[in-house]
């Protein structure tokens, strides 16, 4: 077996599958069993609870019964940042998208009563398939890689083309000024979680709100759309479930798409010397394919969006560092993310300068 395949399998082993529930994320399983008996159609115990290995934000559990497996997503216990861990919003968008045929897990129930397991949670179906952790897809052929990436791009385009009003999501987000609100959100989250002073972050917090691009369209946006946040069919290059909707809302679809493109400018894809030979679309090809699916002639302000997305990623990782500080982190490697925050801040400021920011 090739070294790359061994490395990919090692990463999958570390991030997929289940483990015993971490002591800090245990809850009253008998109380959950009673709630499911009363609220989940077709539920029948006995109930076994396992915790998924991957994930940084909302603790996620596998619920095993004699006839079916479910997934439980909950807010983490402890001190939380404002507006974060909105499992009720995840439940709302998944439940609305499911009947349209968009690939999401079937939902079964939402609980907003903290007295059941200590925090809000929802129950959805357990979708069996492949989670692809390594974007280089070392175990796939060039043709398979191309098909997988095109499926990834098309699924996002399908989301952005969905008539959100027709499926009852007109109130899923506020109209207009999405980028302004997002910049403000991630600036506040960063500052609430700040552990060290990074000059580039302060410059970005000043520059980004002053340079917002015009919002041309509004759509459902996922907010964290990447390869390992979706489940592919066990053998086909087809997305069967998009996961982790915590950051979903109504907003600027280009923010979503350019976030996906970050892999081409600062990720595994950017390290591949010959994308065409490897089978992965080039950045220009990915842009052209997305534009063809969404009726666009091209994309504007790419450097601005790359600056924003690197800033956002820095905010996400800094939020994890803040949870380490506060004792609520859900990942053994979370404390090692400080160098990544610094690198993203520097990268964001470099793109900001390409977009017109003055040093």
Domains annotated for the chain, with CATH where assigned, are 3-125 (3.30.200.20), 142-354 (3.90.1200.10)
Spatial distance between the Cα atoms of 157 and 168, rounded to a whole number of angstroms: 19
* Phi/psi-derived region of residue 85, left when phi > 0, alpha when psi is between -120 and 50, beta in every other case: left
Average pLDDT score over residue span 95-103: 98
Per-residue pLDDT, averaged over 45-58, amounts to 83
DSSP state of 20: S
At 9 the pLDDT is 46
Q: Is the pLDDT of residue 83 over 80?
A: no
| pLDDT computed for residue 338 by the predictor | 86
For residue 231, list its beta bridge partners. 241
Helix then strand count (H, E) for the chain reads: 13, 10
| Paired tokens of 78 | 């402890």
- Range with the poorest average pLDDT among 1-5, 165-169, 289-293, 332-336: 1-5
Model confidence pTM above 0.75: yes
Q: Is the pLDDT of residue 329 over 90?
A: no
For residues 196 and 36, which has the higher predicted lDDT (pLDDT)?
A: 36
- pLDDT category of residue 40 using cuts at 50, 70 and 90: very high
pLDDT for position 4: 40
Bridge pairing between strands 219-221 and 107-111 = unpaired
């Amino acid at each position: 077996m090739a070294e790359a395949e061994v490395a990919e399998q090692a990463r999958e082993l570390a991030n997929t599958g289940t483990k015993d529930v971490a002591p800090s994320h245990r809850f009253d399983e008998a109380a959950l069993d009673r709630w499911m008996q009363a609220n989940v159609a077709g539920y029948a115990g006995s109930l076994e609870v396992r915790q998924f290995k991957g994930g940084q934000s909302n603790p996620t559990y596998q619920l095993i019964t004699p006839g079916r497996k479910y997934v439980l997503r909950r807010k983490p216990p402890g001190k939380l940042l404002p507006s974060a861990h909105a499992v009720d919003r995840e439940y709302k968008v998944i439940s609305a998208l499911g009947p349209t045929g968009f690939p999401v897990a079937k939902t079964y129930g939402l609980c907003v009563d903290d007295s059941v397991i200590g925090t809000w949670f929802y129950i959805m179906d357990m979708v069996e398939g492949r989670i692809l952790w390594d974007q280089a897809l070392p175990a796939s052929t060039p043709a398979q890689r191309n098909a997988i990436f095109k499926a990834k791009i098309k699924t996002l385009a399908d989301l952005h083309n969905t008539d959100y009003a027709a499926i009852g999501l007109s109130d899923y987000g506020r109209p207009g000024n999405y980028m302004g609100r997002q910049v403000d959100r991630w600036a506040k989250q960063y500052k609430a979680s700040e552990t060290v002073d990074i000059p580039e972050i302060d410059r970005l917090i000043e520059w980004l709100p002053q340079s917002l691009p015009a919002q041309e369209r509004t759509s459902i946006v996922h907010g964290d759309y990447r390869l390992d946040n979706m489940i592919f069919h066990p053998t086909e290059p087809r997305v069967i479930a998009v996961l982790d909707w915590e950051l979903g809302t109504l907003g600027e679809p280009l923010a979503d798409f350019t976030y996906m493109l970050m892999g081409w400018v600062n990720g595994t894809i950017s390290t591949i010397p010959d994308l065409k030979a490897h089978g992965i679309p080039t950045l220009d090809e990915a842009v052209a394919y997305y534009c063809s699916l969404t009726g666009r002639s091209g994309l504007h302000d790419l450097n601005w969006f790359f600056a924003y997305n690197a800033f956002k990623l820095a905010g996400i990782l800094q939020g994890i560092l803040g949870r380490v500080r506060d004792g609520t982190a859900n990942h053994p490697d979370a404390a090692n993310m400080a160098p990544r925050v610094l690198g993203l801040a520097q990268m964001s400021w470099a793109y900001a300068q390409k977009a017109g920011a003055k040093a």
